[in-house]
Amino acid sequence: MSDYNYKAVNRDMGKAIHHYDMIAPDDRILVAVSGGKDSLTLLWMLSERLLRIPVDYRLYAVYIDPGFKGGFAEKLQQWALSQGWDLRIEYTNNGPFAHSDANLENPCFLCARMRRKRIFEVADELGCCKIALGHHKDDIIETLFINMCYTGVMSTMRPSQEMFGGRFRIIRPLAYVDEDRIRRFAADTGLPGFSNPCPSADSSKRGEIKSIVTGLTRGKKKIKDNIFRSMSHINMDYMLKQQNPPG
């Protein structure tokens, strides 16, 4: 494993955790695992962190299986067990239902909403007050562009956000970590890669926006860093007056 990539991910993750006071002693944290490099990196780093810091917390890894044919739940669980992690699998029919004629909404939106609902239910069952998601810096930037382009609102994911009146708290410890850094770390560490069986995986709005943002920032890290930094440096004196939505 490259010590350089590990140190870079650990440094930026530590900054986010400290900046947003994400983790406290005796926290019970549900780690939402998707099978992708981001959530597996998050689980790996949070587990490794327990071995070297004075703060004790408990992790509960959970994977919500969307129910598509060709899924990888069993393989993911076997790999997790080989690493010493007890991964809980929640089997659902969310994916096929969201893509069926019975659904009149955007399939990705509905599937994500049902997945999130089940995560909150499992967190409540396990007594977890915090839910850790694997979103990184690129996800936060892309969400800003998605919301501007498709909803006309400047907003994005917050690294730490209370939900349901403070009953739960969503945390994103990788919020300051670049996706490319996570990709390199995952390769160095030998984290597995699982193919997404979702039929909409290659045609989502996020995929379209990712291509646009990649083209804008390719080879220009300063531009990406400035976009990210701008979300916490908003000069309201030079923004438009709020308008009523079109009637």
Task: Give the largest Cα separation in the chain, rounded.
Answer: 57
The burial of 105, by beta-carbon neighbours within 10 Å (0-12 exposed, 13-18 middle, 19 or more buried), is given as exposed
The β-bridge partners of 88 are 62
Distance CA 139, CA 115 (A): 18
For the segment 82-98, what is each residue's pLDDT rounded down to a tens digit? 999 999 999 999 999 98
- Distance separating the N- and C-terminal Cα atoms of the chain: 57
Ramachandran quadrant class, 97 (left: phi over 0; alpha: psi -120 to 50; beta: rest) = alpha
156 in helix, strand or coil?
coil
- Nearest Cα to 83, choosing from 154, 8, 189, 160? 189
Q: Kindly state the tokens that stand for 5.
A: 């990539």
Listed by start position, the domains of the chain span 3-238
In single-letter form, the type of residue at position 181 comes to: R
Amino acid at 246: P
142-169 pLDDT per residue, tens: 999 999 999 999 999 999 999 999 999 9
Q: Which CATH superfamily is domain 3-238 in?
A: HUPs (3.40.50.620)
In this structure, the number of other CB atoms found within 10 A of the CB of residue 208 comes to 15
**Per-residue pLDDT reduced to its tens digit, 187-233:** 999 999 888 888 877 667 888 899 999 999 888 889 999 999 999 99
CA distance 245 to 247: 6
More confident residue, 59 or 52: 59
Residue 14 CA to residue 30 CA, distance in Å, equals: 18
Please check whether residue 102 is in contact with residue 96, taking contact to mean a CB–CB distance below 8 angstroms: no
The model's pTM: 0.93
Q: How far is CA 116 from the centre of its chain?
A: 12
What are the pLDDT digits (tens) for 99-127?
A: 998 887 788 889 999 999 999 999 999 99
Instruction: Please report, for residues 130, 147, 168, the alpha-carbon distance to residue 165 in angstroms, rounded to integers and kept in the order given.
Output: 13, 24, 8
